[in-house]
Amino acid sequence: MKKLAVVGIFLGALVVLALVAVGGYNRLVRLSQQADSQWAQVQNVYQRRADLIPNLVSTVAGAANFEKSTLMEVTQARASIGKVVISQNSAPADAAKLAEFQRAQGDLGSALSRLLVVAEKYPELRASQNFRDLQAQLEGTENRISVERGRFNDAVQSYDTAIKSFPAVLYAGLFGFKEKPYFTATPGAEAPPKVQFNFSSPPSAVPAEKP
């Protein structure tokens, strides 16, 4: 009888452990999928910005004597994003690859900001409804990028914390659950880039393009 009791306790413990492991595994799957889903949202808002650029460039290029180097900088920055090969469906696991993606997107954001500053010198652009609409859409998109990146980091933090916590830390690696990297803050990145114009004041002086 004692042996049967010991066996019963042992089997009961195994069942409890199995249930805990299954529940923990399912939780990790859910958290990983949430991070992947939020990554898709990040990709969507970045793509939204990229989709606005051809129309913006076309509109700005119509202005007489607009700095060609500024337009080229935006065009090249947009093209460089396509060279960064990164998963569209799952959150990146390679911190270096995510950093490369972030640098490319940051370069594009900086190029766009410079283009819009230069555009202040052109009254016909500032008076264009199409240009004003694009400016408003870009501003909204930059805000969404900031929001979705923050949500992505929150999702990744929940997932990374889970795989490092007991008892998941004992089996997470065996099932292929690996730490996911975050977006990192850069100096001055506390707020999204400003793409607003002050149409009521004279345009700021912008150095002439070197020949």
Backbone angles phi, psi at 85, to 5 degrees: -85, 115
Collapsed DSSP state (helix, strand, coil) of residue 53: helix
User: What pLDDT was estimated at residue 88?
Assistant: 80
* Mean of pLDDT over the chain: 83
Q: How far apart, in whole angstroms, are the C-alpha atoms of residue 145 and residue 99?
A: 16
* d(C-alpha 30, C-alpha 27), whole Å: 5
The domain limits of the chain are 2-175
For the chain, helix (H) and strand (E) counts, in that order, are: 6, 0
What is the pLDDT at residue 21?
74
Q: Name the stretches of the chain with pLDDT < 50.
A: 187-211
Q: What is the 3-state secondary structure (H, E, C) of 56-95?
A: HHHHHHCCCCCCHHHHHHHHHHHHHHCCCCCCCCCCCCCH
pLDDT tens sequence across 124-170 = 888 889 999 999 999 999 999 999 999 999 999 999 999 999 889 98
